[in-house]
Amino acid sequence: MTVSVYVPVALSVLVAVISRLMAARLSPTRGTVIAVVGAAVLCAAGTTWALVLLALTLLGFTQLAVHEATERGVVLLQPVPGVVGVLAALALVFGLVRVVRVARARWATRRELRELCRSCAPGELAVVPVAEPHAFAVPGRPGKVLVTQGLLALLDGKERRVVLAHERAHLTGRHHGLRATAEVCAAVNPMLVLVREAVAFLVERNADEHAATVSGSREVAARALSKAALAEATERKHAVLGFIACSVTARVAALHEAPPRPGRLLPGGFVVLGLGTTIAAVQATMAFYRLIHWLWLS
Amino acid sequence: MRKSARISSRRGAGELESEVLAALWAARRPLTTAAVQGAVDSELAYNTVQTILARLYEKGLVERSAEGRRHLYRPIKGAEELAAEQMQALLHRGPNRQSVLQRFATSLSEEDAEALRAMLKLRRRRR
């Protein structure tokens, strides 16, 4: 337990760093996104469980075990220090608070979006007479694409097709769910914030590629994206940057290149790392169980 | 290349309806069928555009007026002011709430904007 309980934490750091470094190089297929989100879920679950086990040591197992060991003349491998247990308990509470905060923010925005959709015309597309250029997909049954009149007026017919296809790709690919999952994982385990940003980027790239295919031209897709981003940049005084800054620039650059070839190796690697945290968590649990068994049942 | 061309010509009726509606909103003035055709995609058949406009009219999404022998189409604006207000409110929420909105384009830093502008200009010149 003393080693395996810390493995999920180490593996989460690894997954976070790799997703940060590789986000731009991964082929943005739906499979890739699911693999990365899956790894995040496994890492979040693994670390949470490891924290639970560490926090449980606060209940006095350590002292009891040390006492028993000296009495029976057994040498224990470093028991968990008390301070680690306290830190683990604090981290659990902190994670819980963050999850609640994320859930409430999401819920509030979803409700507002649904109200907004109710005051719009029926159908797949709703245009809102706002001058600022914005477009987003609102999930639901059926989902809806919201676009401002300002953005539509800025683009030509083919570029408008790109925007619509991009937003539709978010809806059909259920990207909201994938992003929400990654966000909850990042709330549970702050190291996974990098993974959350990588997922956000990959999902946008996935929709970009879809839009490029539908419009039949990567050039047009890149132009539509550049125009929309520039218009939004001049509109907003203060820029809120994600962790993968310049993501729009990276997306435009990717569209100017040849379509990415699907790769299996990297997404597979993510899943393997995620499974590593699960295995470590299971091992730690077994060690914990053995300790309890040794203390009370033998 | 061939594959993408095939996909683009196979757009569904719903997708075309959205494109036509978007073109009408973008124009900010009533359009004739021919003008809609030009604004959406000049490769689209005139009859197709006409059919889609008729369907949008039946659905109550566009209104039309007669001008001589032609029809002029414009989008019907429903609870537009309420929708605009709600959207403005949403857009001015803090970054926490913003993460839920899946924006088409997230904001840029000044250097990125400069790089993007240069890229656009370069491409335009090359064409």
Q: What pLDDT digit, counting tens, does each position of A101-110 carry? A: 999 988 888 8
Average pLDDT, chain A: 85
> HSE-up of A30 (CA within 13 Å, CB side)?
11
Which residue in A201, A234, A222 sits closest to A20, CA to CA?
A201
* Residue B60 to residues A249, A294, B53, Cα–Cα distance (Å): 40, 75, 11
Rounded distance between C-alpha atoms, residue A160 and residue A137, angstroms: 14
Residues on chain B touching A225 (C-beta within 8 angstroms)? 104-105
Q: How many CB pairs under 8 A join A and B?
A: 206
Q: How confident is the model at residue B95 (pLDDT cuts 50, 70, 90)?
A: low
Which phi and psi (to 5°) does residue A2 adopt? Answer: -65, -30
Cα A142 versus chain centre, distance? 24
Residue written as token pair 């006492």: A67
What's phi and psi for A144, nearest 5 deg?
Answer: -140, 150
Residue of A104, A107, A164 to mutate for B, most B C-beta atoms under 10 A = A164
Looking at residue A243, its pLDDT comes to: 39
- Give tens-digit pLDDT for A125-137: 989 888 888 888 8
Q: How are beta strands A135-138 and A144-148 bridged, if at all? A: antiparallel
Q: In b/e form, how buried is each residue of A255-290, taking b as 16+ CB within 10 angstroms?
A: beeeeeeeeeebbebbeebbebbbebbeebbebbee
Taking contacts as CB-CB distances below 8 angstroms, the residues of chain B near A239 are 107-110
Is the Cα dihedral A206, A209, A211, A214 positive or negative? Answer: negative
Tell me the mean pLDDT in the region A135-148: 86
Q: From the CA of A73, how many Å to the nearest CA of chain B?
A: 55
pLDDT-above-90 percentage for chain A: 38
End-to-end CA distance of chain A: 19
Residues belonging to chain B: 127
pLDDT at residue A287 tops 50 = yes
The answer, yes or no, to whether residue B6 has pLDDT greater than 50, is no
Task: Tell me the chain A residues in contact with residue B90 when contact means C-beta distances shorter than 8 Å.
Answer: 109, 112-113, 116
pLDDT for the residue numbered A239: 41
Residue B26 and residue A148: Cβ atoms within 8 Å?
no
* Cis peptide bond prior to A8, omega within 30° of 0: no
Contact A116 B90 (CB under 8 A): yes
The pTM of the full predicted model, rounded to 2 decimals, is 0.86
CB contact, 8 Å: A205 with chain B?
Answer: no
Q: Does the CB of A230 have a partner CB in chain B at under 8 Å? A: yes
Separation CA A183–CA A178 (nearest Å): 9
Per-residue pLDDT averaged across A115-133, rounded? 85
Give B103's strand partners: A136
Smallest Cα–Cα separation from A43: which of A203, A193, A230, A211? A193
Given this model, what pLDDT does residue A240 score?
Answer: 42
Name the most confidently modeled range: A53-62, A147-156, B87-96, B101-110: A147-156
What ipTM was predicted for this assembly?
Answer: 0.81
Q: Are A225 and A162 in contact (CB under 8 A)?
A: yes
Mean pLDDT, chain B, rounded, equals 79
- Taking residue A28's Cβ as centre, other Cβ atoms within 10 Å add up to 23
Q: Is the dihedral of CA A100, A172, A136, B2 positive or negative?
A: positive
Nearest to B77 among A109, A129, A249 (CB): A129
Output A292 or B39, whichever has higher pLDDT.
B39
Q: Which two tokens stand for residue A56?
A: 């449980």
A126 DSSP β-pair partners = A146
Residues from chain A contacting residue B84 (CB–CB below 8 Å): 128-130
**Chain B residues in contact with A124 (beta carbon < 8 A):** 14, 17-18
